[in-house]
Amino acid sequence: MASVSATSVSFGCSFNQTKSITASKGCSISLGTTNRRLSSLRFPRLRVYASAKPETVSKVMEIVKKQLALNDSVDLKPESKFSELGADSLDTVEIVMNLEEVFNITVEEDNSQNITTVQEAADLIEKLVADKPTEATSEASA
């Protein structure tokens, strides 16, 4: 539920014409204007690309550290590029496969080309993990 409050905060920043936003646990949001457009917020299938959760980022960093056999003295930030940490292209692909296994996702071909930092990997994982249960529900209802 912490993720719900995070997404409601980000919405508060992006819409200028909102008067007041109250987000409750059921995701019902009351607004002065443009009510119809934002009524989709009531459905839990809302996908807001907020930045990745810290647990995800730290898990990714763990995996990268083990894969590249980095000492603890190496400064590993979410913005560190894999190539700066001494990874060649095969290492990058292997890290992506490791993440696929740990998070039980499938990274598409073109997505994996864009992953160069820890943060990008974590964001992509969040997106894929969020997409997965919605696919399951749509298949169940079909």
Partner 1 sequence: MSFMMRAVKVPPPSASLEEARHRVFDLFRSACRSLPTVMEIYTLNDVVTVSQLRSAISSEFRNNAHITDPKVIDMLLIKGQEELSNVVEHAKQRHHIIGQYVVDRTGMHHGAGKDPSTSQFLDNFYTSNYF
Three-state secondary structure call for residue 94: helix
Cβ nearer to partner 1, comparing 41 with 82: 82
Strand partners, 81: 117
Question: By CB under 8 A, which span of 12-20, 92-100, 115-123, 127-135 interacts with partner 1?
Answer: 92-100
Strand partners, 117: 81
Q: Does residue number 108 form part of the binding site for partner 1 (CB under 8 A)?
A: no
d(CA 25, CA 59): 27
To the nearest whole angstrom, how small is the minimum distance from the Cβ of residue 123 to partner 1? 21
Question: By CB under 8 A, which span of 29-37, 42-50, 52-60, 89-97 interacts with partner 1?
Answer: 89-97
The residue within the footprint of partner 1, chosen from 28, 97, 132, 137 (CB under 8 A), is 97
Active site residue 91: no
To the nearest whole angstrom, how small is the minimum distance from the Cβ of residue 135 to partner 1? 19
| Side chain identity, residue 29 | I
Q: Does residue number 116 form part of the binding site for partner 1 (CB under 8 A)?
A: no
d(CA 42, CA 29): 7
Backbone φ and ψ for 117, nearest 5 degrees, come out as: -130, 170
Backbone φ and ψ for 49, nearest 5 degrees, come out as: -85, 65
Return residues touching partner 1 (CB under 8 A). 88-91, 93-94, 97-98, 100-101, 109
Active site residues: 88
